């Protein structure tokens, strides 16, 4: 167990492509950090640099206060769980888990004890003699975890470990991973493109976009105060409503006819953001503006209503609790409380 | 899925060319050989006499025949082993090359396109005791190379020539096998603390074992039956009996020695060996070698 520190870590490929300009990240001992972002944002590259599977082009990586840039993967004392599990297909579950211990010259007794401890923790005891081919997806996933934890490494690295599982199993394994990590207290770096997975697992999230860390913070911090429009759109499902508007002395000009009262010194063009659940259906007299309903998704616990406001082409989303099914093309009157607004600079996309 | 044809003759008509080729070029000569194996023919081919199993019993009491079996086994396993080992080495190295991999692959595949007799001539020229560059170089190193006189050197030469031609084939299979191994397995092993050498022997090589076994059978079959041209062009089975493998002996006894009966009996035995090897190939490759 250890701190993992990334100082201005960057990656430039030999062909000149700069995947990651420079990232600073300080992972505390025992912390669960999730790297999240769309595909191609550099999150796997960053993870692989920490693992030692990609070289670090610039900056410095410290694990337990030791510089790791030039160390081989094996010398970094980390364990990695791969997306396709990467179990050795010709070895039994026991041998898969024992492989790392054997390579490090552990004694027979020690291997036996450690493997059976981990197997018990993961409910794999009855499967130790099986080959990976004879296991289900969830079991393989557990073996991959077992192989990682059996050595008690300084840090766990997860590379989209749940993306090959079906939806139900994914939720179950997500909970298991979180519990195990808490129980073992091992520093963890976890890569995913799934924002729900990211929100539920992370102590802190790193949202990556084109190799930049857009924002680093706890899931709720990111949800409540997204630093950029990218984070605002990426975190939360459905995404935050974002509209380019202008603020004048009359207030926030949603359309030519509709303006909302705005207690801000900000003037000029901005991007106005509001989360779907913060748009509240109300009576016509209380309403800030109206939406012409275009589609309704009733999910039981909540309903998602999509529509246009007169004079704008963007589709807005409203999340209303419980079953709520307004008719298509009906006008839906909405309130947009000012304390729930997010304003972003139209050029830099940064939060104002 | 079965396809049914409305008329009876059409499927037969469609099969006819292939059936004719098989009958004329395979079944008929093979039948002739089996028949000949029970007859004794005089040296001029004027008369033949039914002798039953006498050709076979002669063979099985002939020390030269056993010597040829020994030579064949040594030759075949040497070709298979050297060919597989070198091809694996080359494939592992080519697999690591990032830039220009196609050039390496193409160059390594070329020898396969060379006809066996030409491959034989090529090495014969290289190793010619008086003018061959390799032979001359060996002499300068103090090794007196003359495969016309030295049986072991002759065997070395035919093994080199036969292996050289087969390496391309093995290389292709190994390269495909290596590229089919997920990169993440090797990375997992690296993180698990295995050195590159250990990674190869505990992860890569076991995963290649189906390929290796397949190639072993294919290479043995190749060395047994497909190396006539190479032997003929380099040593003609000599000196003495030292490179006279079974297929070469069939030819030598039949067409040089004009003992067609014995030659046919040897062919029949070879046919049986081919049969056994084919069964092994089909039956065990799919099932036995798994992980």
Tell me whether A324 touches chain B (CB under 8 Å): no
The answer to whether residue A220 sits within a structural domain is: yes
**pLDDT for res A95:** 92
Residues A200 and A314 in one domain: no
Residues A182 and A248 in one domain: no
The answer to whether residue A352 sits within a structural domain is: no
* Helices B260-287 & B205-225 angle (0-180, nearest 10): 170
CA-CA distance, A272 to A290, in Å (whole number)?
A: 16
The residue with greater pLDDT, B40 or A176, is A176
CB atoms within 10 A of CB B274: 13
Those of residues 197-256 in B touching chain A at CB distance below 8 A are 198, 202-203, 206-207, 209
Confidence of residue B259 (pLDDT cuts 50, 70, 90): confident
The answer to whether residue A351 sits within a structural domain is: no
Mean pLDDT, residues B27-55 taken together: 78
Which of A199, A234, A269 is the last residue before a domain boundary?
A: A234
Residues A225 and A246 in one domain: no
Of A51, A84, A131, Cβ closest to residue B191: A51
Q: Quote the mean pLDDT of chain A.
A: 90
pLDDT in tens, B50-106: 777 777 888 888 888 888 888 889 999 999 999 999 999 988 888 887 677 788 888
Residues A266 and A321 in one domain: yes
Q: Domains in chain B, ordered, with CATH?
A: 54-287 (1.10.3720.10)
B1 pLDDT exceeds 70? Answer: no
CA-CA distance, A225 to A108, in Å (whole number)?
A: 53
- pLDDT cut 90: percent of chain A above it: 47
The answer to whether residue A320 sits within a structural domain is: yes
Which residue from A minimizes the CA distance to B191?
A74
Chain A residues inside the 8 Å CB shell of B288:
none
| Predicted ipTM of the assembly | 0.82
Tell me whether A79 touches chain B (CB under 8 Å): yes
Mean pLDDT, residues A291-306 taken together: 91
Residues A47 and A137 in one domain: yes
B6 pLDDT exceeds 60? Answer: yes
A227 pLDDT exceeds 70? Answer: yes
**pLDDT for res B185:** 92
Which of A234, A252, A284 is the last residue before a domain boundary?
A: A234
Chain A residues inside the 8 Å CB shell of B204:
none
The answer to whether residue A126 sits within a structural domain is: yes
Mean pLDDT, residues B174-191 taken together: 90
List residues bridging with A58 in a β-sheet.
A10
**pLDDT for res B156:** 87
pLDDT in tens, A136-187: 888 998 999 999 999 889 999 999 988 888 888 889 889 989 988 998 899 9
Chain B residues inside the 8 Å CB shell of A49:
none
CATH code at position A271: 2.40.50.140
Mean pLDDT, residues A8-37 taken together: 91
**pLDDT for res B82:** 95
List residues bridging with A344 in a β-sheet.
A271, A351
A240 pLDDT exceeds 90? Answer: yes
Structural domains in chain A (count): 2
- β-strands A302-308, A18-27 pairing: unpaired
Residues A31 and A93 in one domain: yes
pLDDT in tens, B194-211: 888 899 999 999 999 888
CA-CA distance, A69 to A342, in Å (whole number)?
A: 40
pLDDT in tens, A81-126: 998 889 999 999 999 999 999 988 889 999 999 999 999 888 888 9
**CB-neighbour burial class of residue B100 (10 A; exposed 0-12, middle 13-18, buried 19+):** exposed
Confidence of residue B279 (pLDDT cuts 50, 70, 90): confident
**pLDDT for res B43:** 64
Checking A300-308 for CB contacts under 8 A at 24+ apart, the result is A304/A238, A304/A276, A305/A332, A307/A332
| Cis bond before residue A238 (omega within 30° of 0) | yes
Tell me whether B187 touches chain A (CB under 8 Å): yes
CB atoms within 10 A of CB B230: 32
The answer to whether residue A171 sits within a structural domain is: yes
Q: How far is B192 from chain A (nearest CA, A)?
A: 4
Domain that holds residue A30: 4-234
**pLDDT for res B204:** 92
Specify the range with the lowest mean pLDDT, choosing from A52-66, A300-314, B97-111: B97-111
Those of residues 44-73 in B touching chain A at CB distance below 8 A are none
Q: Quote the mean pLDDT of chain B.
A: 83
Which of A209, A234, A259 is the last residue before a domain boundary?
A: A234
Residues A92 and A141 in one domain: yes
Cβ–Cβ gap B191/A79 under 8 Å: yes
Chain A residues inside the 8 Å CB shell of B200:
none
Q: How far is B191 from chain A (nearest CA, A)?
A: 5
- Could you give the 3-state DSSP secondary structure of residue B75? helix
Residues A35 and A103 in one domain: yes
The answer to whether residue A49 sits within a structural domain is: yes
The answer to whether residue A350 sits within a structural domain is: no
**pLDDT for res A158:** 93
CATH code at position A56: 3.40.50.300
Confidence of residue B144 (pLDDT cuts 50, 70, 90): confident
């Amino acid at each position: 167990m250890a701190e993992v520190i990334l100082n201005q870590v960057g990656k430039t490929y030999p062909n000149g492509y700069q995947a990651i300009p420079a990232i600073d990240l300080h992972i505390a001992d025992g912390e669960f950090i999730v790297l999240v972002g769309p595909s191609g944002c550099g999150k796997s590259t960053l993870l692989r640099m920490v693992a030692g599977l990609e070289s670090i082009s610039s900056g410095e990586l410290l694990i337990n206060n030791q510089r790791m840039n030039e160390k081989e993967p094996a010398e970094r004392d980390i364990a990695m769980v791969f997306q396709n599990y990467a179990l050795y297909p010709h070895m039994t579950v026991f041998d898969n888990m024992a492989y790392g211990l054997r390579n490090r010259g552990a004694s027979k007794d020690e291997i036996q004890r450690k493997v059976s401890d981990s197997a018990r923790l993961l409910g794999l005891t009855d499967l130790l003699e099986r080959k990976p081919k004879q296991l289900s997806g969830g079991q393989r996933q557990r073996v991959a975890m077992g192989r990682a934890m059996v050595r008690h490494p300084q840090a766990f690295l997860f590379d989209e470990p749940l993306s090959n599982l079906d939806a139900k199993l994914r939720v179950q394994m997500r909970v298991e991973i979180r519990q195990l990590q808490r129980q073992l207290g091992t520093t963890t770096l976890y890569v995913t493109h799934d924002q729900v997975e990211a929100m539920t697992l992370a102590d802190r999230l790193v949202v990556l976009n084109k190799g930049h860390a857009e924002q680093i913070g706890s899931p709720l911090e990111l949800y409540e105060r997204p630093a950029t429009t990218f984070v605002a759109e990426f975190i939360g499902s459905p995404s935050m409503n974002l509209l380019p508007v202008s603020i004048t002395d009359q207030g926030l000009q949603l359309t030519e006819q509709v303006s909302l009262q705005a207690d801000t010194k900000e003037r000029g063009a901005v991007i106005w953001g509001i989360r779907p659940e913060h748009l509240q259906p109300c009576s016509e007299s209380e309403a800030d503006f109206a939406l012409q309903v275009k589609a309704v998704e009733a999910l039981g616990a909540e309903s998602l209503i999509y529509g246009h406001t007169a004079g704008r082409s963007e589709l807005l989303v409203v999340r209303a609790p419980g079953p709520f099914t307004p008719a298509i093309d009906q006008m839906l009157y909405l309130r947009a409380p000012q304390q729930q607004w997010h304003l972003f600079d139209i050029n830099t996309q940064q939060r104002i | 899925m079965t396809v049914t044809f409305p008329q009876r003759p059409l499927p037969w008509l469609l099969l006819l060319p292939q059936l004719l080729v098989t009958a004329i070029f395979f079944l008929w000569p093979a039948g002739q050989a089996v028949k000949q194996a029970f007859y004794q023919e005089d040296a001029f081919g004027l008369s033949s006499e039914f002798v039953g199993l006498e050709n076979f019993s002669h063979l099985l009491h002939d020390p030269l025949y056993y010597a040829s079996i020994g030579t064949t086994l040594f030759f075949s396993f040497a070709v298979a082993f050297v060919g597989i080992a070198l091809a694996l080495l080359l494939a592992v190295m080519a697999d690591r090359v990032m830039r220009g991999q196609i050039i390496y692959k193409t160059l390594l595949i070329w020898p396969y396109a060379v006809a066996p007799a030409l491959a034989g001539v090529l090495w014969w020229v290289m190793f010619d005791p008086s003018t061959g560059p390799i032979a001359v170089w060996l002499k300068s190193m103090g090794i007196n190379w003359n495969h016309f006189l030295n049986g072991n050197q002759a065997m070395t030469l035919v093994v080199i020539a036969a292996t050289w031609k087969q390496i391309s084939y093995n290389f292709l299979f190994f390269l495909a096998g290596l590229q089919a191994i997920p990169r993440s397995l090797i990375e997992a092993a690296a993180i698990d603390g295995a050195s590159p050498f250990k990674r190869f022997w505990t992860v890569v090589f076991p995963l290649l074992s189906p390929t290796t076994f397949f190639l072993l059978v294919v290479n043995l079959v190749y060395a047994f039956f497909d190396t006539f041209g190479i032997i003929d062009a380099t040593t003609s089975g000599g000196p003495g009996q030292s490179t006279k493998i079974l297929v070469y002996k069939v030819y030598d006894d039949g067409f040089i020695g004009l003992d067609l009966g014995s030659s046919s009996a040897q062919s029949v035995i070879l046919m049986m060996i081919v049969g056994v090897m084919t069964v092994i190939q089909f039956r065990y490759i799919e099932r036995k070698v798994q992980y």
